[in-house]
Structure 1
Amino acid sequence: MIYGFISSLDDETTKVFFRSKKIRGNNIYNAESLGALTSVLQSGDAVYTVSCNRFASVRQVYTVARFCHERGIVLHFVAEPYLDIGNGKQWRPAVAKVIASMVESEQKAKGMMAQGFKMTDSQWEYAYRCFELMNLDILAHTFSADGVLKRGS
Structure 2
Amino acid sequence: QIDTTHSGKQKEARVGGAKVDGHCPKTNEVPELHGCHHHGCPKRFKHTRNASPPDSPPETPEHRYEATVAKSCRLTEPGHAAIEMWECDSKRPMTEEMFNHTETHHTIASSPPNPRDAPHGGRTGNAKSPHTTKGDEQTKHA
Higher Rg of the two aligned structures: 2
Higher relative contact order (CA 8 A, sep 6+): 1
Fold agreement, TM-score > 0.5: no
**Structure 2 length normalisation: TM-score?**
0.24
**Larger % of helix: which?**
1
